[in-house]
Amino acid sequence: MLRAAVAAKSEVGLKAAAVMKAGGLVSDDIVIGIIRDRIREPDCKFGFILDGFPRTLVQAQTLDKMLCEEGACVTKVIELEVPDSVLEERICGRWIHKKSGRSYHVKFAPPKTMKKDAKGNPVPESMKDDETGEPLMQRADDTATALQKRLMGYHGETVPILSHYSPKGVVGKVNANQGMDGVWDEVLESLKRGGN
């Protein structure tokens, strides 16, 4: 939803873009407004998934209040458990072709043109899209500096959300430090009524 609002270049989308580019978190008012507008769309009539929100206890409480006003409530929270060191490798290695959205990874899915410097890091000028030969880019929030800021926020502000929702019996934990099929199986199991 945030990326769609950013792409639409709406007033809230432009505000969100500036904050994300700096590696920060978008304000609660902006996000709750985007969510409220989005869940009123017909395709959300029978439910919806929020990815990466809420990120703080205050956001969770504000979301709960807004959902209550809309006649809804949080029915499932899934925690994807991954060690920080693994996240750094996954996130900081991502490169994208902006026009098409194709994504690459320096370890898991490198472009054919990738060359490495003496330290084993990719040479930015060599990162080209396999189909068009156009330059690839890294998102501003896919850097080690931005990631460390995000991880500090996660451990200090997001983890308490699990305690907020646990008494309601809606929290499921998924080992996301495994292959995609294993993660997907655990997510599907967690989404079942009465799942972990």
* For residue 194, pLDDT beyond 70: no
Would you say 96 and 86 are in contact if contact means Cβ atoms under 8 Å apart? no
What was the pLDDT predicted at 196? 58
pLDDT score of 56 more than 70 = yes
Separation between Cα atoms, residue 160 and residue 156, nearest integer Å? 8
For position 114, what pLDDT does the model report? 96
* Three-state DSSP state, 98: coil
Q: How much is the average pLDDT of 65-73?
A: 94
pLDDT over threshold 80, residue 72: yes
**Residue 31, token pair as written in the block:** 């996000």
Per-residue pLDDT, 18: 84
DSSP state of 145: H
Band (189; pLDDT cuts 50, 70, 90): very high
In terms of pLDDT, which residue wins out, 158 or 126?
126
| pLDDT band per the 50, 70, 90 thresholds, residue 109 | very high
- Per-position b or e across 160-178, b if 16+ CB within 10 A of its CB: ebeebbeeeeebbebebee
Residue 10 pLDDT more than 80? Answer: no
- List, in sequence order, every residue forming a beta bridge with 171; answer none if it has no partner: 77
| Average pLDDT of the residues of the chain | 90
pTM of the model: 0.70
Residue 195 has pLDDT above 60, yes or no: no
Give the span between the Cα atoms of 41 and 36, in whole angstroms: 9
Q: Which residue has the higher pLDDT, 194 or 169?
A: 169
